[in-house]
Amino acid sequence: MNALKVNVVHEGVTYSADVMTIESTRLGIEDHGIMSAMLHCKGDGGGTGVGGYGLDQFDKAKGRRVGHAFGLEWLMQVMATVGVDRWEQLPGSRVLVLYPHSESHIHLGQIAVGIANVDTGKALIFKDLAEEWFPAEVPS
């Protein structure tokens, strides 16, 4: 458990946060064929994978997966939030990994809902970005 308990308020919503360092990243095609990206983060006594969104979509006419603008936007917004201009610069960056607000600040088993920049407070809530591109498809 983190000694420092952090809350982040973004657009009127309070999130609990863990201060973590991006240890590594993964950008590529998963074993089931979907293009995705993951930030592997480590903090006090634990770690988590952040991301995992599908960055492509299946095109019936082509019979294969094709790139989607949402995927590029997700990558760009992650880099902008962290404050880097190349994906390769992400490892070593400190971020706030955001979770639904919890008084206990114990995030074991929870899925991260976004990230924020430790220095600027700029936040990226993944669901909000996804809803901009797929408003009828994102579950509440």
| pLDDT value, residue 26 | 96
For 120-140, what is the mean pLDDT? 85
The closest of 11, 26, 20 to 122, measured between CA atoms, is: 11
Task: Give the span between the Cα atoms of 125 and 2, in whole angstroms.
Answer: 21
Task: Give the span between the Cα atoms of 129 and 140, in whole angstroms.
Answer: 13
Domain boundaries along the sequence of the chain:
6-133
Residues 41-82: pLDDT tens digits?
A: 999 878 999 999 999 999 999 999 999 999 999 999 999 999
For 22-47, what is the mean pLDDT? 93
> Regarding predicted confidence, which is higher, 140 or 91?
91
Give the rounded distance of the alpha carbon of 50 from its chain centre: 5
The closest of 79, 85, 51, 54 to 68, measured between CA atoms, is: 54
Length of the chain, please? Answer: 140
pTM above 0.85, yes or no: yes
| pLDDT value, residue 7 | 86
For the chain, the first-to-last Cα distance in angstroms comes to 28
Residues 6+ apart with CB under 8 A from 76: none
